[in-house]
């Protein structure tokens, strides 16, 4: 009988976990402006990326699913080189030296920026990884929270659609 009493709680837990991993089309809204330090030096702003489709991924060095996705982001970067697409990782709640060491070890080819609490809040990136697809005009077109097996196919499709539309 005790086992049956736990069933509703287990189902609720499963529903909550599944709801955390999702993709959503959003009504196009302006992406919050940012000007963040780049891991390689200098700064990168959203304004400097206008005219490109931007895949903006919020991640952390302590986030297991985030680390698993790094090779897939590298592949996405390679597939889209020279197409007007920018892949940008925003490291949150992470030590810059740890990010630098990880970038070297994983040979991360895309831009890495050091995020802060303000940018995480403005993008509602409280769960990691959280990824946005931003069009050439700075409008958020798609948001992904968590990770799924089809995430990178959906990201590529979103990028292709935005490139074809403009």
Report how far residue 110's alpha carbon sits from residue 75's, in angstroms, rounded to the nearest whole number: 10
Where is pLDDT greater, at 22 or 133?
Answer: 133
pLDDT category of residue 162 using cuts at 50, 70 and 90: very high
Question: pTM of the entire structure?
Answer: 0.85
Q: Which two tokens stand for residue 106?
A: 């994983």
Average pLDDT over every residue of 24-38: 89
Q: What is the mean pLDDT of residues 112-128?
A: 95
pLDDT over threshold 60, residue 139: yes
pLDDT, mean of residues 58-77 = 98
| Strand extents, DSSP E, the chain | 22-30, 35-37, 43-45, 53-59, 85-91, 111-114, 130-134, 139-145
pLDDT for residue 126: 85
Q: pLDDT category, 52, cuts 50, 70, 90?
A: very high
pLDDT at residue 124 above 80? yes
On whether the 22-165 domain is CATH 3.40.930.10, my answer is no
Domain layout of the chain by residue ranges: 22-165
Across the beta sheet with 22-30, what order do the strands follow?
Answer: 22-30, 139-145, 130-134, 53-59, 85-91, 111-114
């Amino acid at each position: 009988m005790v086992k049956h009493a736990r069933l509703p709680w287990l189902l609720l837990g499963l529903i909550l976990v599944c709801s955390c991993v999702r993709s959503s089309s959003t009504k196009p809204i302006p992406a919050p402006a940012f000007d963040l330090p780049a891991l390689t030096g200098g700064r990168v702003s959203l304004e400097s990326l206008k005219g490109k489709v931007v895949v903006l991924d919020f991640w952390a060095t302590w986030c297991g699913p985030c680390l698993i996705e790094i090779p897939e982001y590298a592949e996405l970067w390679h597939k889209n080189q020279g197409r007007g697409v920018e892949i940008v990782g925003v490291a949150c709640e992470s030590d810059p030296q740890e990010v630098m060491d990880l970038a070297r070890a994983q040979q991360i080819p895309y831009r890495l920026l050091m995020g802060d609490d303000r940018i995480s809040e403005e993008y509602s990136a409280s769960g990691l990884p959280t990824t946005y697809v931003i069009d050439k005009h700075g409008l958020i077109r798609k948001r992904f929270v968590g990770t799924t097996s089809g995430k990178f196919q959906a990201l590529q499709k979103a990028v292709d659609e935005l490139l074809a539309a403009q």
